[in-house]
Amino acid sequence: MSGLQIVFLIVAVVTLFSGVMVVASRKMMHSALWLILTLLGVAILFATLQAGFFAIVQVLVYIGAISILIIFTLMLTRRVMDEEHPQVIKGWWLPAVMAVILFGLIAGFLATWKDFQVMLNELPADAENLAAFGSALVNPAGYVIPFEVASVLLLAALVGAIYIAAERKEKVG
Amino acid sequence: MIPLSWYLIAAAALFCIGLFGVLSRKNAVSILMSVELMLNAVNINLLAFWHYHTQLQGAGQITPQVFVAMVFIVAAAEVAVGLALIISAYRRRETPVVDEMTLLKG
């Protein structure tokens, strides 16, 4: 077992454990902090895949922006439902059974694929070609239409979020 | 080096954890956090297949990277709108619990 495999196993165990804690912890704020650890673990998994750019984007976008947004929302929508009230629905075992069954199905289906056990070798240093990636995003023969649609989507989402969350003067509801 | 199967199994486990969270948690913010877990699991899968495809076909595989970038953008937009909706609903109903948001109930 090589050193990289040991690193992967440690990171994967930490990521999955903190993922379980995100859905299992009773205090919402602890749940959000476990989410940050999960996202960091996923960023390290990206780095072990030699996708360094997306590891950095993961840290910037998810840990830097999205988790901060989630923590702000948690503070704004605070209510006493911490210890005494359960955070999960009454029949929580049914989703648990469904999730385990789905995991078994996915793993069993993937195991029938012939390349399932293939080793991921180390890529040459120029494999993650960021210049080609960037020019493909603005190339009319490449991905300029999805790219522009995504920018319009992001702009519309941000304007819509401000409009929805802004406090209105008139009485509503 | 690391087998492809380890990444796929880890991503499947993370996805199922997120699915359990979406189906079982009461608080709307927790549900959004679980959706984030599922999106991250998908990104692990996409980048693992990007690596696999690159070692088969050589460098310059752009499409998987574009997919991952799109997932990032859509996740950011989804979180922004979702959290704004939760804040707006909280302002009217004083609750972040999805069971108690029954404005549309007949």
Query: For residue range B2-30, what is the model confidence (pLDDT) as tens digits?
Result: 899 999 999 999 999 999 999 999 888 99
Give the A window 106-145 contacts with B, CB below 8 Å: 106-107, 110-111, 115-124, 126-129, 132-133, 136-137, 142-143
> Are the Cβ atoms of B7 and A49 closer than 8 angstroms?
yes
The CATH number of domain A3-128, selected from 1.20.120.1200, 3.60.20.10, 3.40.50.620, 3.40.190.10: 1.20.120.1200
The rounded distance, in Å, linking the Cα atoms of A16 and A80 is 28
Q: What is the pTM of this model?
A: 0.91
User: What's residue A81's pLDDT?
Assistant: 55
Other residues' Cβ atoms within 10 Å of the Cβ of residue B85: 16
Cβ burial A113-123 (10 Å sphere, 16+ → b, else e):
eeeeeeebeeb
- To the nearest whole Å, the CA of A164 is away from the closest chain B CA by 6
Domain boundaries in chain A?
3-128, 129-173
State which residues form the domain around B57: 4-95
List beta partners, residue B3. Answer: A119
Higher pLDDT, B62 or A38: A38
> Are the Cβ atoms of B26 and A142 closer than 8 angstroms?
no
Q: Is residue B9 part of a domain?
A: yes
User: What's residue B79's pLDDT?
Assistant: 93
Query: What is the complex's ipTM, to 2 decimals?
Result: 0.91
Q: Is residue B104 part of a domain?
A: no
Chain A residues touching B40 at Cβ < 8 A: 38-39, 42, 62
The rounded distance, in Å, linking the Cα atoms of B70 and B3 is 26
User: For the purposes of burial, counting CB atoms within 10 Å of the CB of A127, is it exposed (0-12), middle (13-18) or buried (19 or more)?
Assistant: middle
pLDDT digits 0-9 by tens, A73-85: 988 887 655 556 7
What percent of chain A is helix, strand and coil (3-state, nearest 5)?
70, 0, 30
B72: domain CATH number is 1.10.287.3510
Q: Is residue B46 part of a domain?
A: yes
- Contact status, residue B1 vs residue A2, Cβ threshold 8 Å: yes
